[in-house]
Structure 1
Amino acid sequence: MMVRVMSFFAVAVALATGAPGRAPSSDAALPAFGRDTVLVWKISNQDEAASFVVRIAEFLPNRFIEWENSTTQGTIFMTQKAVTSARIFVNARLFEGGVDTKGKDATTLWLSQQVFRELKTKSRAKLAIDSIEGWMTVEGSDQLVVEVNRTPVALPVIKIKDDRGQERWFLDQEENPLLVKHVYRAFSQTLKSITTDRPNSLRWIKGRKLTSPR
């Protein structure tokens, strides 16, 4: 079951998230991410659907997150160097059930800031996606309605397509280029909610693990 759920990260497809125009598009409407930020995606595979939850222990300068689905959980630590300049983006490799993994030179769920800048200035960027080198190309911009602290907000995004025809939408923010939508064939992964105003949300990263993740 875990393999099936985690495989959605490699082949997710976008879902509609609500009627456009329900909320204004504004960066100010999106609070800064930090400890206790909770992100929830809906993942679908034809008739199957599941939720995928990420809780942030540290957002910057390193990125330390815990994740869980209906069957398992784990943690991922991404170094400051990876967050700022990694040229490897992975879909599933860092998600190992019951394991604390580390992305020394790779990111997942977020682009590195350097790759995002290249996409914004040059409209394309070369990087390795799941160990296969290729190009990401900007297809345009859009908005995605997401529940932010229980209020629908239309978030600005950039739409990216890779050499294999997979489409990904990322937040249009250099400091926070979060994957909000991933499109490929009959599968889907879509961000449904962001919560930043509820303390003590962490379940797995506690105590010494929280203060010394390295």
Structure 2
Amino acid sequence: MTHAVRLNGSATIGGVSVFSHLDLCLEPGKWTCLLGASGVGKSTVLKLFAGLADAVDFQGEITDPGRVALMAQHDLLLPWLSALDNVMIGSRLRGENPDPERAMQLLEQVGLKEHAQKRPHTLSGGQRQRVALARTLLEDCPLVLLDEPFSALDALTRLQMQDLTASLLKGRSVLLVTHDPAEAARLGEHIKIMTPLDLIDIAGPSGPIPRPIDAPDVLATHTKLLNDLRGPL
């Protein structure tokens, strides 16, 4: 994505307001982290950018983002396909020749090479999420939308997948929806808190991503995000 992508407007579902007067701009080649309470509309924003929000009545403007890869909250793996075939499903649906070598390489990088021929029902929740992550990374799109992509992972695997994803998506435009302030402090080049009323910009730590978890400015941003999300006691 060589240009900024912007969503500016209001959304309702079934006549119920999801958000109003939201103005969100994604800078090219940067990671934008979006936090906020459940139900505030974060996932709806992702679906609107991806063009998959048929149930949403949106009034406003969205810059055409071009090709987009979306990793939703649920892994959406096809139960009759192997992990490897699930990773390659995007190519098959578009009528393109899949790249099994690259798909296997990604499965190896997410620690699932030995599970490549297994079907989803034999995998744990965290393993399924890593298959979905590999599928998203294989799409090789300039804009990548991630909806809590590491939520089902244990703490160590989560850090490892954050590192891997930041490395493989270097130079791409990424919108990461997360409930984890520590994750946003590690990965966010632009950090925003979405509320029912507005979008709050949070100054992020310095330095390239992924940042060390124990860096003083990362810890300070983590604390600030926790306090801002919690609100007054």
TM-score normalised by the chain length of structure 2? 0.28
Q: Which has the higher helix share?
A: 2
TM-score normalised by the chain length of structure 1? 0.30
Q: Which has the higher strand share?
A: 1
